Structure 1
Amino acid sequence: MGRTSKDKRDIYYRLAKEGGWRARSAFKLLHLDEEFKFLNSDVQRVVDLCAAPGSWSQVLTRKLRGPTGQENENVKIVAVDLQAMAPLPGVTQIQGDITKTSTAESIVEHFKGEPADLVVCDGAPDVTGLHDIDEYIQAQLLLAALNITTHVLKKGGTFIAKIFRGKDVSLLFAQLKIFFKEVTCAKPISSRNSSIEAFMVCQNYSPPDGFVPTMANPLLNCDYDAYTNQPEGPNRVIVPFIACGDLSGFDSDKTYPLQLEDGKEYVYHRPTQEPIDPPYKEACRLKAENMLAKES
C-alpha cells in the first residue's frame, strides 16, 4: 500500500503529520483533555509512562510549557520507556522499567522529592489477535503503571491509562476505585470504533488509610473466581463509559478525500520523527552501498 492510499485511509494519521505530531495517538490525549480538563495551570509535574515514540509527551509540552516547549520552565515532564526516544524540548527522559522501584525513585529525584500532579500511560503490548490474552496482558500493564503511580502521584492527582475493554473491565474499575474517588472509562473519537481500546481516567487520588506503596505485591489477585469477577447484587458496579471529543468531527473509521478544502491542493508530509532504530536500517544501508557501487 502506497503512502497516498495510507494518507487517504486515516484522517488522524494525516492530521498528525500536518500538525507535526509523532503519532496519531496525540489526538487521543487531546480529546480526553477536552472532556476532563486535566491539562491546566495547576499541573506542574507530569509523568508519561511507556512514552515512546513521544506523541503524548509532545501534547504535554505544548499544552503545559507552550508551543516550543520552552516557555514555562516551571513545568517538569518526565518520560519513561524501555526503549530510546528521540529528544523533545522540555522533556526529561528515563530509559527504564516501570515495574522497578529504582525507576520510581528516579522520577521523584527529577522532581526534587516532590510528587507528580499527573501520570499518563498510553502503553500497550504487541497484540496477538487473541483477545483474551491481549486483554489480560494489557490489564497487567495497566496495573504495573498503577503500581508505580502509587509511588509518585500526589493525593488529589490524576492518572490516565489505556485499557482493552473486555469481561474484566469491571474488576479493573473496582481496583482503581480503591485508589481514586472518580474513575471513568472513556473512548476518544480519534480511537477507531473497531478497536477495543479505551482509557481509564482516574481523578482525585485517595489511597486507603495505611496503604504503603510497594512493587513486590501485585495489585490484582489472579485467583479470582467467576463470582468475584462478575459480582452481582449490592457489590455489582457499573463502569461509567463516555465518548469524548467533538462527535460531529472527523470519524476515525471513515475514509476522507485527500483534498479536504476546496481549491487547496493536498501536500504530502513526511513523519515528524523518523524511526531512530528501524528494523530495515541494515537493508537501507546495503541498498545505498549497492547504488554507490553501480555509480562507480
Structure 2
Amino acid sequence: MAPIRGVLQLQGDITKESTAEAIISHFSADGQEKAQLVVCDGAPDVTGVHEMDEYMQHQLLVSALSIATVVLETGGSFVAKIFQGNATGLLSTQMKIFFNKFDIYKPPSSRSSSIESFVVCSDFCLPPGYIPQVINTARDDIRVLAQKTGSDVNRHLVPFIACGDLDGHNNHSEDESDASGELQDDIKYDYDGIMSDEIYPQEFKGSYEELKINHTSCQ
C-alpha cells in the first residue's frame, strides 16, 4: 500500500499478539490518548462454505474488538466487516456488552448475493470491573486467558465474547464477588432471539434468561 500523508501504516496479522501490541503501543499507557473510531475491513480467504467463512470472519472480528476495548475512548465507535449468517443474534449480544448502540448495515455497493455486511457500534462503554484483554480464539485457551486478570467479570464475559460460551457464568457460586467486593448479579446478556432458536440447548436458553448487561456506569 502506498504511503498516505499523516497516516501511520502497520502491516501485520491482527490475530497475532505482536500486531495487537504494535497497534496498542501507539496509544498512551495512562489512557489520555485514545481512539474515537476503530474500523476493521479485514476478511479471510473465503472457502465458499458460508458457515466456515462466517466462523473465520468472526475470529477476525473478535481480535479487532478486543483491540478496540483497549484503545477506544468512552463513547467511541467501532465499525467492522462481518459475514452475516445464523449467528447474527448472538453477535448483537456480544457487541452490546461494550456498545450501547448496535446496527448491521449493508452498503448499496455490496452485491446482493454477498453475505458481507458491517456492524456499526457506537457509545463505547467498558462494563464495570472488566479489564481489556487481547483475545485470540485460535491461539489461547480462552478460560485460562479469562482468569489471568483476576477479574471475575472477565472470567464470565471473555468466553462469551470469544465463542458464546456461558460456562463462565453458569459455574460461579452465589457468593462470588468482583475486585470491589460487590456481587456480579447485574451482569446479564440482553438477547431474546435465542429463545426461539432450535440449535441452542435448553440449558443455555435458561442461562440467557438470567443475564443482562448493565451500562449505567463506564470505567
TM-score by length of 2: 0.61
Deviation track 1:85-108 (CA, whole Å, cap 9, x = no partner) reads 321221101223323444344334
Out of 226, 231, 239, the residue aligned to residue 200 of structure 2 is: 226
Out of 84, 88, 94, the residue aligned to residue 165 of structure 1 is 84
Structure 1 residue 141: deviation in Å? 1.0
Q: Structure 2: which amino acid aligns with 1:226?
A: Y
Q: SS of the residue aligned with 1:137?
A: helix
Q: CA deviation at 1:109?
A: 3.6
SS in structure 2 of the partner of residue 212 of structure 1: coil
State the 1:175 CA deviation.
0.3
Describe how 1:64-213 pairs up with structure 2 within 5 A.
85-113=1-29, 114-213=33-132
SS in 2 for 1:94: coil
* Amino acid of the structure 2 residue aligned with 1:160: V
Partner amino acid, structure 1, of 2:84: R
Contact 1:163 1:197 in 2 (8 A): yes
- Secondary structure class of the residue paired with 2:106: strand
Q: Alpha-carbon deviations, 1:191-249, whole Å to 9, x = none? A: 11111111000000011101101124452235576148x969x95xxxxxxxxxxxxxx
Query: For 1:252-291, what aligned pairs fall within 5 Å after superposition?
Result: none
Alignment length (residue pairs): 150
Q: Secondary structure at the match of 2:46?
A: coil
Whole-angstrom distance in 1 between the partners of 2:21 and 2:75: 20
Gaps of 5+ in 1: 1-84, 236-296
Higher gyration radius (CA): 1
Q: Which shows bigger deviation, 208-217 or 123-132? A: 208-217
TM-fit CA distance, 1:181: 0.1
Q: Between the two proteins, what is the percent identity of the paired residues?
A: 53
Shift in alpha-carbon separation, 1:164–1:100, aligned structure 2, 3 A: same
TM-score where L is the length of structure 1: 0.46
Unaligned ranges ≥5, structure 2: 135-144, 147-158, 167-198, 210-219
The two structures, once aligned, show a CA RMSD in angstroms of: 2.6
Structure 2: how far apart are the matches of 1:206 and 1:86? 35
Q: CA deviation at 1:151?
A: 1.1
